[in-house]
Structure 1
Amino acid sequence: MWNRSENKVNCIFIRHGCTASNREHRYLGRTDEPLDEAGIFELENALDNGVYKALEEKCSREQIILTSPMKRCKQTAEIILPPSQQNKIHTVKEFAEMDFGEWELKNYKELSTDIRFRDSYQAWIDSGGTLAFPNGESRKEFCKRSIGGFERVLTQALGLKRAMPDKEIQIVFFVHGGTIMAIMSHYCDMDYYDYQVKNGCGYSCEVAAGGDEIVFNEIQPIAL
């Protein structure tokens, strides 16, 4: 049966901590902006309060630690992970945030009032967010990239599980809100925007795979 233990891994998805542009509700994609001071404090406080206890080390567990190439995700991993896990951090290029093109670092007010952007912004809203950003990515392109990266990592993790059947394999993703939305909405029951999470939050779940089928089970929110 494809749902036997060797075909299952645990997955934890955590959105990076808050940045200055996040607080101003700007489209933050390819700009390599670090966490702000308050964002660092929020993560440290959440860590002290046991929000990330699912990441605690266990002798019977092998953790695979993955981040987006962006500084804000790497910083989040370094704050949350114990020192013994720091050398396990690997970057996955497919997990970079969406390319917002000409809208990079713009916010709702600027896009809806600036004559250079307001028509294309309204068209994007009318499309339900499916149109490509001007000189950027479409949601379809972004989701394809994110899901491709996830499935590549999952295949590697399942290979490790088969080689280490007595170990629990857990993949931890320190990524962007869009990356989480793309992956969760592809495999689960709700729509893309239903999986929006705040900075420092995310989901934990069990992922089972067999043949061409991937199933997410026991989905639990991680909230500050």
Structure 2
Amino acid sequence: MEVYLIRHTETICEKGVCYGQSDVLIAEPFDLVFENIISQLPVEAIIFSSPLKRCTVLAKYIQNKIKTISYNEDDRLKEMNFGDWEMKNWNTIPPEQLNPWMEDFVNIPASNGESFTELHKRVGDFLSDQIVKNKDKPVIIVSHAGVVRSILCHYNSLPLKDAFQNKVDFGQVIKIVL
């Protein structure tokens, strides 16, 4: 079974802003980038998307360009919840909060947010719930860097602490075969 993991394209946020589950828009124009993404996809697929706008704009564009078996949005595909840090510049987050998280992002949640382990669990729940049901068709997942890294950790049996070994660029398509 082919699974195509797609990270959303660049957002309108300034560099250095923490925007996990904040619903921010993508930068325009995006048609050429979207067409490049579509050129890497199968002609028919099931699409799953994070419900955040930066993903749904791309997912719906794909839905209009390929034969879509079904289109679904799933909250479990949202980026990590950064709680109190959402929409703040990383440099303004108090070091007494940020440093412990930086040392152990796997287990320590962002202030009033979630840890990478919590994200990984919900992504794992999505995989066991949705991917198993759709074994016979290609699947496209439009989501975020944290979610894609989590899926790649599942796929490659990579320890969560090593998740950042998985480089995931804006608009990148990663094909895996399950």
Q: Compute the displacement of 1:206 (Å).
A: 0.8
Q: Compute the displacement of 1:129 (Å).
A: 5.1
Name the residue aligned to 1:164.
none
Name the residue aligned to 1:28.
19
Of residues 179, 191, 197, the one that matches 2:168 is: 197
Of residues 64, 78, 97, the one that matches 1:96 is: 78
Name the residue aligned to 2:90.
108
Of residues 125, 135, 154, the one that matches 1:186 is: 154
Q: Which amino acid aligns with 1:176?
A: H
Q: Which amino acid aligns with 2:175?
A: S
Q: Which amino acid aligns with 1:195?
A: N
Residues 142 and 56 of structure 1, relative CA distance in 2, 3 Å threshold: closer
Larger Cα-atom Rg: 1
Name the residue aligned to 1:45.
32
Q: Compute the displacement of 1:187 (Å).
A: 2.4
- Retained in 2: the 8 A contact 1:26–1:108? yes
Residues 34 and 195 of structure 1, relative CA distance in 2, 3 Å threshold: same
Name the residue aligned to 2:40.
54
Q: Compute the displacement of 1:146 (Å).
A: 0.9
Structure 1: gaps (5+ residues): 1-8, 112-116, 162-168, 208-224
Q: Compute the displacement of 1:93 (Å).
A: 1.8
Name the residue aligned to 1:10.
2
Equivalences, count:
175
Residues 99 and 128 of structure 1, relative CA distance in 2, 3 Å threshold: closer
Name the residue aligned to 1:151.
128
* CA distance in 1: counterparts of 2:37 and 2:45, whole angstroms: 18
Name the residue aligned to 2:144.
176
Q: Which amino acid aligns with 1:46?
A: V
Q: Normalising by structure 2, report the TM-score.
A: 0.87
Structure 2: gaps (5+ residues): none
Q: Compute the displacement of 1:88 (Å).
A: 3.2
* CA distance in 2: counterparts of 1:171 and 1:64, whole angstroms: 5
Q: Normalising by structure 1, report the TM-score.
A: 0.70
Residues 202 and 27 of structure 1, relative CA distance in 2, 3 Å threshold: farther
Over the matched positions of the two proteins, sequence identity in percent amounts to: 25
- Retained in 1: the 8 A contact 2:40–2:173? no
- Retained in 2: the 8 A contact 1:97–1:176? yes
* CA distance in 2: counterparts of 1:186 and 1:86, whole angstroms: 26
